[in-house]
Chains A and B, each alone.
Chain A
Amino acid sequence: MRRVVLYEMFERLWHWAQAIMIILMMLTGFEIRGLGVHLLGFQRAVSLHNILAVALVTLIIFAIFWHVTTGEWRQYIPTRKFLREMVAFYLTGIFKGAPHPVKKHRMAKLNPLQRVAYLGFKVLIIPVQVTTGALYYFYPNLQHALGWSPSSLWGIAIIHVLGAFGLVAFLIGHVYLTTTGHTPLTNIKAMITGWEDLQDDAYFEES
């Protein structure tokens, strides 16, 4: 068993800041849509949602810079290696107390399912939300300048809302899967402190 820094300071700050922002954007977003959330009132919810949008995009720009300069972006390259084993682990092995099929490593800290999920999050859901959000915000200007039809906003709004629901689903799955570590809190502790005990010998088996 080795104790290593799995998540750098920036990575943790980025993760938690992003988490807080996305959760606040969900709450304000659903308040704006009128889905039963009553926290700030419509006007303040809209303001906060817009401010958070700018803050989140700024943070993402920093995160992209960090990923590129540190080479950490490689962590998200999808792989088929152990993919089948991971699926099998979540579907059956985990219930029998089977060992985790993928060994965590400083340079490969994400299992193949995480890689696909987070890559999808980063290149699909977030860009779709950022793009539709920006189009939504600037719609009056764009519509005026480009002569778009007033009904196009329907499409933009619907995609933005579906993306938001997708984020909620992602959040639920994400939080649940953090409990599948060595103990239910192992992964969350690692994301807070950065340190994780890599129990490579016990958990790693060639199959």
Chain B
Amino acid sequence: MPYRVRKPSTAWQPGIWRALICLVAFPIAVGQAQQPNPPAPAGHGSYTAVHAAKGRRLTADHSKFKVLQGPFKDSDGPAVTRACLTCHTKAAEQVMATSHWTWNVAKEGKDGYGKSTHLVNNYCISIIGGNTESCARCHAGYGFKDKSFDFSKQENVDCLVCHDTTGDYEKEKGGWPNPGVPLAEVAQKVGAPSNRNCGVCHFFGGGGDATKHGDLDDTILKAPRAEDVHMSKQGAGMDCVDCHASDAHKVGGPNYVLPADRREHPKYPGETVSRMSCAACHTDSPHKSYVLNRHYQKVACQTCHIPAFARGTLPTNTYWDWATAGRLKNGRGYKEEDANGYEAYNSIHGEMIWQRNVKPTYVWYNGNLKFTRLTDTVTIPADGKIVLNPAEGSYSDPNAKIWPFKFHDATQPYDTALNRFVAPYTAGPKGSGAYWGDWNWDVAIKMGMETAGLPYSGKHSFVKTTMLWPITHMVAPKEQALSCVECHSQNGRLANVPGFYLLGRDRGTGIDKIGIGMVLLTLLGVGIHGYIRYTNVRH
């Protein structure tokens, strides 16, 4: 149903009313006629209205440009990029300055926090041990297959993956376009990135739909309002880029580096401010209740407004046990499903747990996750589990809030002599030395570390790890926000969040006992006194 329904004609109304209504309505009707796409109404917005408005703002019809008429050779992405660059002369340069291109980030003065460098995770672990080519399907470029890739070649920037509006664009190994993609047609219909463009990679992190993030998966494209009030077409109908606003192709809101500046208003007219905080649109006091608004100081909006993640129809991976990979039947890998039909075992991955509607884990977080690199020496803590990216923050940290996280548990290989994580070569055919071909960790790790150019002692073992994924998408309608007692109770959601007194959770040892004792003693005294009085009166 369209958002605005025209009121029925009032022409049959008689006399003076008709005249009056015509007088008033006529100019309004004319005004509307001149404006074919009415602006989006305030409030919840409307997918149709918002996107009509976005379409109206376009000033170029790319199908009219000669340079985009083609024909382009199959998979010849660079030819399309060269065409784009004839008008958008600085676009490639801009993209090449971003982590979408470099797959690398410097953090606190240290380099190497990226996929193409030394960042380690506990899903596919790392791409640099020889797995780059297949993983580069998600690189915003063409031809990234190993470290020989030329990161300075402008024509290798992939414009289409973000700007395709047809949905026909697909990337293959090394990031090359699928040979079946009609490049000229796609190039003539470019536009602003939609959720599908971002989702084609970001929904599929960890190697499959919904696997990695927990709050991002393909179901968002067709989500009911209850799954995501912002991105649902029945909700606000927003696009990713409405919040992740870009400045010269630099998309706001990367997870690896804390946005150094959390200002929510532009410093000067025209400055693009990434709307990465809820308050940028909702203000910092959106509730009617003063007490609820005050929670903003210490509790992230997400904590109450995202009661669970993976609320679509897809499960997210919560446990990945590399140590159990490699069980074979008749020399071949196999798969097993759990009761829900989710993959409980796969020889190439090990045992796995997949879950839907998962309650987040809550920790203090000031925006900084302290990631681990393959080059970092790690120590195994007493509980035997290494947290790969502990969240920084505490109650006393003025920038920290209680945040919901997906905690992803795993076991993964590490170098027992050097105490570093390793990047195994996993994806390759039989005889290549890759783990999925030859089922030999020693060889796979040795080859992986050689390819990565990193030292390996030759001795490995598996260690338990946890990784934290901040939950911020899949915001639920307000009716589904957590009730107070979800946290303000004993054994509630915040049972293990330290450093402060929480009403309803914390009691002070023995205070209730002292109080109840006081009341009981009074009752006892009163009872005895009354009993003696009563029996004496009867005498």
Contacts and interface: CB of A to CB of B under 8 A. Distances in A.
A95 to B, nearest CB: 5
A138 B106 CA distance: 42
A158 B508 contact: yes
Contact of A34 (B489, B514, B519, B521): B489
Nearest to B521: A169
Given A32-B504, A42-B483, A43-B484, A162 B511 contact: yes
B501 interface: yes
Given A157-B506, A158-B508, A42 B488 contact: yes
A164 B490 contact: no
Find the residue from A42, A168, A180 having the highest chain B CB count within 10 A.
A42
B150 to A, nearest CB: 53
Given A43-B483, A140-B297, A144-B297, A150 B504 contact: no
Interface string B329-347: 0000000000000000000
A200 B485 CA distance: 56
Interface in B413-443: none
Given A42-B485, A97-B536, A176-B529, A161 B515 contact: yes
B490 A165 contact: no
Contacts of A166: 518
A15 to B, nearest CB: 20
B532 to A, nearest CB: 5
Interface in A47-74: 47, 50
A157 B508 contact: yes
A52 to B, nearest CB: 15
Contacts of A151: 500-501
B73 interface: no
B519 A169 contact: yes
A10 interface: no
A33 B526 contact: no
B269 interface: no
Contacts of B533: 94-95, 180
B501 A154 contact: yes
Contact of B536 (A95, A154, A157, A180): A95
Nearest to A154: B501
B15 interface: no
A172 B508 contact: no
Contacts of B512: 33, 35, 161
Interface in B498-517: 499-501, 503-504, 506-508, 511-512, 514-516
B523 interface: yes
A35 to B, nearest CB: 7
Interface in A172-191: 172-173, 176, 179-180
Nearest to A158: B508
Interface string A35-49: 100000111001100
Given A140-B294, A162-B511, A172 B522 contact: yes
Contacts of A140: 294, 297-298
A150 B500 contact: yes
Interface residues of B, number: 39
A186 to B, nearest CB: 14
B208 interface: no
Nearest to B484: A42
Find the residue from A32, A96, A165 having the highest chain B CB count within 10 A.
A165
A153 interface: yes
A173 B484 contact: no
B526 A173 contact: yes
Contacts of B523: 172
Interface residues of A, number: 36
B291 interface: yes
Contacts of B207: none
Contacts of B289: 47
B530 interface: yes
Nearest to B505: A34
A154 to B, nearest CB: 5
A150 B501 contact: yes
Contact of A169 (B297, B503, B518, B532): B518
A201 B74 CA distance: 117
Nearest to B516: A165
B462 interface: no
A42 B505 CA distance: 13
B311 to A, nearest CB: 23
Given A140-B297, A162-B514, A96 B536 contact: yes
Contacts of A34: 488-490, 504
Contacts of A42: 483-485, 488, 504
Contacts of B530: 176, 179
A151 B514 CA distance: 21
Contacts of B294: 140
Contacts of B32: none
Contact of A158 (B490, B504, B511): B511
A166 B230 CA distance: 50
B395 interface: yes
B396 interface: yes
Contacts of A94: 533
A36 B396 CA distance: 32
A172 B489 contact: no
A172 B526 contact: yes
Contacts of A169: 518-519, 521-522
Interface in B285-310: 289, 291, 294, 297-298
Nearest to B488: A42
A162 B504 contact: no
Given A94-B533, A162-B515, A33 B504 contact: yes
A85 B25 CA distance: 90
B494 to A, nearest CB: 14
26 contacts: A32-B504, A34-B490, A35-B512, A41-B484, A43-B483, A47-B289, A94-B533, A96-B536, A150-B395, A150-B396, A151-B500, A151-B501, A153-B500, A154-B506, A154-B508, A157-B501, A157-B508, A161-B515, A165-B515, A169-B521, A169-B522, A172-B519, A172-B523, A173-B522, A173-B526, A180-B533
Interface of B: 289, 291, 294, 297-298, 395-396, 483-485, 488-490, 499-501, 503-504, 506-508, 511-512, 514-516, 518-519, 521-523, 525-526, 529-530, 532-533, 536-537
Give 8 nearest A-B pairs by CB, closest first.
Answer: A165-B515, A42-B484, A153-B501, A169-B522, A176-B526, A150-B500, A158-B508, A95-B536
